[in-house]
Amino acid sequence: MADPLLKIEELETFFPIKSGIFKRTVAHVKAVNNISFDIKEKETFSLVGESGCGKSTLGRSILRILEPTGGKVLFHNKNILNYSSSELRKLRRDVQLVFQDPYSSLNPRMSVRELVSEPLFTHFSISKEEANQQVDEMLEKVGLPLEQAERYPHQFSGGQRQRISIARAFILKPKFVVADEPVSALDVSIQAQILKLLMQLQEEFNMTYLFISHDLNVVKHISDRVGVMYLGKMMEMTDTDSIYEEPLHPYTQALLSAVPKSDPLEEKERVILKGDVPSPANPPSGCPFHKRCPKAMEECTTIEPEFKEVKENHYVACHLY
Amino acid sequence: MSEIISRLKKDKVGLVGVIGVLLVLVMGFIGPLVTPHDPTEMYKSHTLEGPSATHWFGTDDFGRDIFSRVMQGARVSLYVGLISVGIGATLGFLFGLIAGFFQGWVDNVIMRIMDILFAFPDILLALTIVAVLGPSLRNTMVAIGIVFTPVFTRTVRAAVISVKEMEFITSARSIGVKTHKVIFKHVSPNILAPFIVQITLALSGAILTEAALSFLGLGIQPPEPSWGSMLNASRQYMEIAPWIAIFPAIFIIITIFCFNLLGDSLRDILDPKLNQ
Amino acid sequence: MDNVLEIKNLHIDVKKDDSTYNVVKDVNVSIGKQQIYGIVGESGSGKSLTALSIMGLLANPPLHVSKGSIQFEGDRELLDMSFKEMKKIRGKEISMIFQEPMTALDPLFTIQDQLMEALKFHTKLSKSEMKQACIDIIERVGIPRPKEVLKDYPHQLSGGMRQRVMIAIAMLCNPKLLLADEPTTALDVTIQAQILDLMKELREDFETSILMITHDLGVIAETCQRVAVMYAGEVVEESDVVSLFHSPKHPYTKGLLKSMVSGNRHDDLYSIPGKVPSVEQMPSGCRFATRCPHVMDICHTQTPPVQEVEADHTCQCWLYQEELVKNG
């Protein structure tokens, strides 16, 4: 297989917790804690996990929308964390972000045409006519009627707004797109429409996706490989079929068993986890999952398990393996 | 622009505001040219006379024609109001934008200075500035402008901070939009509503502050009239000659009212959410 | 009849710019004792409005019930009750929990204060009895360290814990009916599984009926016995849960089931084309006609009648009407 498009090495994003009058840093929230993985060209890599696990922070750190505090992000074998601000601006042509909330992610005072053409005017000096033509093409691709191009975001439904967001992110034909929960805020019947659109565009533009979601059903459909995160750590990573058919980490198993069944007659074995996700500001010692793990052992409380390949292309951080 | 006008046509209240503001402005420009009497001439035998056919709004304690003085004063009051609020709003907008957008130490420095300015009563601060710069119309406007800067800075800063947290700002940054464009294209248009309301509020305040300064002898120098100084001068005669107070007061109220109406409708017009 | 709640012919209208639009049309729902009854629908389907009208909490104006009846325990007509009478029923005999517990809890009061308030209003217990009741209920909903949690403020708890507190407040007076409006939508899957489990347990222990309102067919499959599918203000299909999942009748239900992104990962994703019509532009015939794959001429002009297509399984669609006509 070809070289990976993106190599993430020991990436860390820590947020300082400040306290006292002098705002001294007393501790860190380790939102992304020493994570490494590759994303291959034209692949869809999905990150799943519950709220607070750091998946969105990881996605934004990779794009340097949040500044990572350590590690490397190699895009085409160049570490973008060393990029100057002008290099970074150029990089923005190739990497884009699609947001979860179709309401707050579009400037309410810009028309659809202004929103979708902004990336073009930001990166190229092109005439209005050329831009308009490209916008029209893009709107057609995402399924928005051209006669609505002069309207403002609030005149659209959630699903249509997400189409506007996608048009805006894709008009530069980026190579790599981080889609941060792009369908979570949408109605069920609309979710599938948007997922289909994303898959179609990926095919057409040969794009690579990092798809972030809390919904395992959605992830199943769109991804080639899946990484499961918990408290800033990668717990398990493998191709999509193995994660659903043969989950190794107890957390992955619990996550899968918690998905509501799709048929009332289905007999489902339930692993109901006790308690809540601990605060990322104060994670447990040893394995971050040990306090909720049904299979926790003595060593889990003290020694942090190593993230290692236990089967071919199947990585797990757990003392069981 | 043509769109704004067509929208304004539909908004009856806003239209009243626009027409009112235009009339007041016309009065400010043309009024002093068409006064029936010289606004500073004293008719010694006609002091404190009520409204009559010769003196429509009556005369003041020096026997000056109040109608003529109101017309003349319109120019000064509007001039001072608009320019000083213009100064305050511009400074406040810039400081607020910078403080709110960049935060950190810049924010701290700007806001502490604003806090200090804010701590003084308006009049006292204006008085000090005029005293330092020397009394004149220009310095009065500068002083009032500075007095109003902290209010605008705070309003703008608060709005910027809330807008900055919106995802569309992150979106603009992730597309690679340059910082100054993010500030002027994405942040600024979304803080207009509170800003415009603040302007209309400040206008009335500015007209009244000018009045107080004039009264203390630091604003417009007598016998040159302004609405505020007329109002202030009327205080001693309030019971025997209320018309001295009533007419300038009515004009101040009408002016402020029209500006408020205009401000309200501008805010709505500039908000795409309220327009289908 | 041993139904706890019977909604008949419920119509809700909304006033907007001097015009009146219909948002809930002819809803009929009967909830049996100890039953978990589901209403499933997308945003704008009128499912939450239906629940709010049971509680007498519709925002009036602009919303109001224009027709229909809601009978509680056979003989009490909720729509005829005064505000005062409703207040006695709310929280005591019928309680409600919401999607976002943070907005439903008062941030300025401790959990104990909020529980005590409900107790003071609805019971005549002594102070120590009330305290014990608080501890008992908090323990019952599976909150560890109840005594400490009672002293906490809502913001100190996680989303899952807050929802448990909401449930505790709702169950405090042992209500006969619990309305749950998207109770797990804001929660993570592992927490959702905990909460759904808890609700099922409580239904048995407290002999309560539950009206579960959700957009998620998975939650319905997980918890409910009967289910009504709502679309654009109408119940388009109503049946027991197994029959609905295994032989759905209405094209909308079929579409919804197919678009549940859960099946085999290599299956094609299905989506219902188009979008829900807005209240101002409601089609005059069948409200689903604009998106229906089986649409016929009659659908555009006339509202289909509600038809019992199988035993205890009703559907509002011309397709089945036609069949009946053909068969004689």
Tell me the Cα Rg of chain B.
22
Chain A interface, best mutation among C36, C163, C265, by max A CB count within 10 A: C265
Beta carbons of A118 and B177 less than 8 Å apart: yes
* Calpha distance A37→A227 (Å, rounded): 9
Q: Which residues in chain C have Cβ-Cβ distances shorter than 8 Å to A259?
A: 189, 218, 262
Shortest CA distance to C137 belongs to which of C115, C108, C162, C160?
C115
- Return d(Cα C185, Cα B84) in angstroms, integer: 53
Q: Is C318 or B232 the better-scoring residue by pLDDT? A: C318
A145 to chain C: which residues are within 8 Å by CB?
Answer: none
Share of chain B above pLDDT 90, in %: 27
Q: Do B175 and A92 touch (CB under 8 A)?
A: yes
Task: Calculate how close chain B gets to A147, using CA atoms only, in Å.
Answer: 15
The answer as to whether A315 is a domain residue is no
Contact at CB, A187 and C222, closer than 8 angstroms: no
Considering the domain architecture, whether residues C182 and C166 belong to the same structural domain is answered as no
Select the residue of C161, C192, C272 nearest A189 (Cβ to Cβ): C272
Mean pLDDT, all residues of chain B: 84
| Residue B14 predicted with pLDDT over 60 | yes
Residue A245 has pLDDT above 70, yes or no: yes
pLDDT (tens digit, 9 = 90+) per residue, A69-117?
999 999 999 999 999 999 999 999 999 999 988 888 999 989 999 999 9
- Domain tally for chain A? 1
Nearest-angstrom CA–CA distance, C7 and A309 = 58
Cα(C299)–Cα(C290) distance, rounded to whole angstroms? 9
User: Tens of pLDDT along C101-135?
Assistant: 777 788 889 999 988 988 888 888 888 888 898 99
Structure tokens at C295: 């649409």
Within 10 A of C127 (CB to CB), how many other CB atoms are there? 10
Taking residues A283-300, report their average pLDDT: 89
Asked if residue C183 and residue C81 are part of one domain, the reply reads yes
Instruction: Quote the minimal CA–CA distance from A229 to chain C in Å.
Output: 13
Q: What is the mean pLDDT of residues A36-52?
A: 92
Assess whether pLDDT exceeds 70 at residue A53: yes
Is C325 exposed, middle or buried (CB count within 10 Å of its CB: 0-12, 13-18, 19+)?
exposed
Is C149 within a domain? yes
Show me where the domains of chain B are located: 58-274
Q: Is the pLDDT of residue A12 over 80?
A: yes
Fill in the DSSP letter of residue A63: T
Q: Is the pLDDT assigned to residue A314 strictly greater than 80? A: yes
Can you tell me the distance from the alpha carbon of C34 to that of B119, in angstroms, rounded to the nearest whole number?
Answer: 65
Q: At A198, is the pLDDT very low, low, confident or very high (cuts 50, 70, 90)?
A: very high
In a domain, A147, yes or no: yes
Judged by CB atoms closer than 8 Å, whether chains meet at C190 and A263 is answered as no
Instruction: Quote the distance between the C-alpha of residue B99 and its chain's center.
Output: 24
The angle that helices B66-102 and B137-164 make with each other, rounded to 10 degrees, is 40
Note if the bond before C144 is cis, omega within 30 degrees: no
Residue from B58, B65, B71, B66 nearest B43 by CA:
B65
Query: Which candidate, B9, B6, B83, B35, places its Cα nearest to that of B225?
Result: B35
Give the pLDDT confidence of B242-261 residue by residue, as tens digits: 888 888 888 888 888 888 88
Q: What's the pLDDT score for residue C324?
A: 56
Out of A160, A220, A277, the one facing C265 most closely (by C-beta) is A220
Chosen for mutation from B170, B175, B186, B191 (greatest number of chain A CBs closer than 10 Å) is B175
Question: Does residue C322 lie in a domain region?
Answer: no
Q: Give the model's pLDDT for residue B276.
A: 44
> B174 to chain A: which residues are within 8 Å by CB?
63, 65, 92, 96-97
Whether chains C and A touch (3+ CB pairs under 8 A) is answered by yes
Confidence of residue A218 (pLDDT cuts 50, 70, 90): confident
| CATH number of the domain to which C253 belongs | 3.40.50.300
Quick: pLDDT tens for C6-50.
Answer: 999 999 999 887 788 889 999 999 999 889 999 999 888 889 999
Looking at the domain assignment, is residue A68 inside a domain?
no
- The C-alpha atoms of residue A289 and residue A296 are separated, in whole angstroms, by 9
Residue whose entry in the numeric block shows the structure tokens 């701290």 = B108
% chain A with pLDDT above 70: 99
Region C149-160 average pLDDT: 87
How many domains is chain C partitioned into structurally?
2
Residue ranges making up the domain that contains C141: 103-172
pLDDT winner (highest mean) among B35-44, C151-160, C215-224: C215-224
Q: Quick check: A269 pLDDT over 80?
A: no
Question: Encoding tokens for residue A19?
Answer: 């306290």
Residues of chain B found within 8 Å of residue A181, distances taken between Cβ atoms: none
- Cβ pair B65, B37 in contact under 8 A: yes
What average pLDDT does the segment A38-61 reach? 92
Neighbors of chain B by Cβ distance (3+ pairs < 8 Å): A
Decide if A188 and C217 are in contact by the 8 Å CB cutoff.
yes
How many Å lie between the alpha carbon of B272 and the closest alpha carbon of chain A? Answer: 6
Of B171, B176, B190, Cβ closest to residue A109: B190
**In DSSP terms, which residues pair with C97 in a beta bridge?**
C180
Question: Is residue C286 domain-resident?
Answer: no
| pLDDT of res. C248 | 92
CA R_g for chain A: 21
Contact of C122 with C89, CB cutoff 8 Å: no
Name the closest residue on chain B to residue A171, using Cα atoms.
Answer: B175
Of C172, C202, C217, which residue is a domain's last? C172
Pick the residue of A187, A189, A274 with the most C CBs within 10 A to test the interface with C by mutation. A189
In chain A, whose CA is at the least distance from the CA of C45?
A187
pLDDT of residue A253: 92
State whether C163 and C88 are in the same domain. no
Q: Chain B residues with CB inside 8 Å of A65's CB?
A: 170, 173-174
Chain A residues with at least one Cβ partner in C under 8 Å: 50-51, 157-160, 187-193, 195-196, 199, 214-218, 220-221, 240-241, 244, 254-255, 257-266, 270, 272-273, 275-277
In single-letter form, the type of residue at position C67 comes to K
**For residue A63, what is the nearest residue in chain B, using CA coordinates?**
B174
* CB-CB neighbors (< 8 A) of A160 in chain C: 275
Q: Which of C238, C253, C276 is the last residue of a domain?
A: C276
- CA–CA separation, A179 vs A201, rounded Å? 13
Sign of CA dihedral B8, B13, B14, B19: positive
C152: contact with A, CB 8 A cutoff: no
Residue range C215-237: mean pLDDT, rounded: 92
Contact C221 A266 (CB under 8 A): yes
pLDDT tier at A193, thresholds 50, 70, 90: confident
Determine contact, residues A236/A218, Cβ cutoff 8 Å: no
Flag if B175 and A119 touch (Cβ within 8 Å).
Answer: yes
Chain A residues whose CB is inside 8 A of the B166 CB are 104-105
The dihedrals phi and psi of A138, each to the nearest 5 degrees, come to -65, -45
Chain B: residues touching A (Cβ < 8 Å)? 166-168, 170-178, 181, 185-186, 189-190, 272-273, 276
Does C238 lie in the same domain as C116?
Answer: no
How many C-beta atoms lie closer than 10 Å to residue A309's C-beta? 12
Same domain, C109 and C237: no
Q: What is the CATH number of the domain that holds A190?
A: 3.40.50.300
Predicted confidence band of residue C328 (pLDDT cuts 50, 70, 90): very low
In DSSP terms, which residues pair with C14 in a beta bridge? Answer: C21, C63
Does C260 sit within 8 Å of A217, measured CB to CB?
Answer: yes
How far is the C-alpha of B141 from the C-alpha of B147, rounded, in Å?
10
B63 vs C208, residue with greater confidence: C208
Which element (helix H / strand E) includes A4? none
* d(C-alpha B254, C-alpha C186), whole Å: 52
In a domain, C196, yes or no: yes
What's the complex ipTM?
Answer: 0.86
**Cβ-contact B175, A92 below 8 angstroms:** yes
User: How far is B106 from chain A, CA to nearest CA, in Å?
Assistant: 16
For the cut 60, the answer to whether the pLDDT of residue C268 exceeds it is yes
Contact (CB<8Å) B176/A101: no
Structure tokens given for C47: 């499912």
Q: Which of B166, B175, B189 sits opposite A122 (nearest CB)?
A: B175
Structural domain for A198, as ranges: 104-175+183-203
* Summary mean pLDDT of chain C: 87
> Which residues are paired to C15 by β-bridges?
C20
In total, the C-beta contacts within 8 angstroms joining chain A to chain B are: 68
Do chains C and B touch by CB distance (3+ pairs < 8 Å)?
no
Closest-CA residue of chain C to A224: C265
C-alpha to C-alpha distance for A232 and A287, rounded to whole angstroms: 12
Domain boundary, last residue among C147, C172, C197: C172
Give C-chain residues touching A265 at CB under 8 angstroms: 242, 245-246
3-state secondary structure chain B: CHHHHHHHHHCHHHHHHHHHHHHHHHHHHHHHHCCCCCCCCCCHHHCCCCCCCCCCCCECCCCCEHHHHHHHHHHHHHHHHHHHHHHHHHHHHHHHHHHHHHCHHHHHHHHHHHHHHHHCCHHHHHHHHHHHHCCCHHHHHHHHHHHHHHHHHHHHHHHHHHHHCCHHHHHHHHHCCCHHHHHHHHHHHHHHHHHHHHHHHHHHHHHHHHHHHHHCCCCCCCCCCCHHHHHHHHHHHCCCCCHHHHHHHHHHHHHHHHHHHHHHHHHHHCCHHHCC
Verify whether the Cβ–Cβ distance C262 to A262 is below 8 Å. yes
Q: Do A262 and C222 touch (CB under 8 A)?
A: no
Does one domain contain both C164 and C179? no
Strand C63-72 and strand C76-77: pairing? antiparallel
DSSP A168: H
Pair (C131, C146) in one structural domain: yes
Q: Is the pLDDT of residue C322 over 70?
A: no
Cross-chain residue pair A258–C192, CB shorter than 8 Å: yes
CATH superfamily, region B58-274:
MetI-like (1.10.3720.10)
What is the per-residue pLDDT for C17?
Answer: 76
Instruction: Tell me if chain A has a CB within 8 Å of the CB of C275.
Output: yes
Is the Cβ pair A107, B273 closer than 8 Å?
no
DSSP-assigned letter for residue C90: B
How are beta strands C94-97 and C177-181 bridged, if at all? parallel
CB contact under 8 A, B170 and A119: no
Residue C18, helix vs strand vs coil? coil
**Beta strand ranges found along chain C (DSSP E):** 3-16, 19-32, 36-40, 63-72, 76-77, 94-97, 177-181, 209-214, 226-231, 234-240, 306-310, 313-316
Residue of C204, C298, C309, C293 lying closest to C255 (CA atoms): C293
Subunits with 3+ C-beta pairs closer than 8 A to A? B, C
Smallest CA–CA distance, residue B219 to chain A, in Å, is 42
pLDDT value of residue C235: 93
- State residue B3's pLDDT score: 64
Nearest to C240 by CA among A281, B38, A90, A264: A264
- What pLDDT sits at residue B107? 92
Is-contact A209 A177, C-beta < 8 A?
A: yes
Distance of CA A240 to the CA centre of its chain: 15
Neighbouring CB atoms inside 10 A of B243's CB total 20
Question: Which residue from A46, A36, A48 is spatially nearest to A73, judged by alpha carbons?
Answer: A36
Q: Which of C197, C215, C259 sits opposite A272 (nearest CB)?
A: C197
Say whether pLDDT at C264 is over 70: no
Q: With contacts defined as CB-CB under 8 Å, which chain C residues touch A157?
A: 275
Q: Would residue C186 count as lying in a domain?
A: yes
Choose, out of A48, A148, A188, the residue to mutate when testing the contact with C (most C CBs < 10 Å).
A188
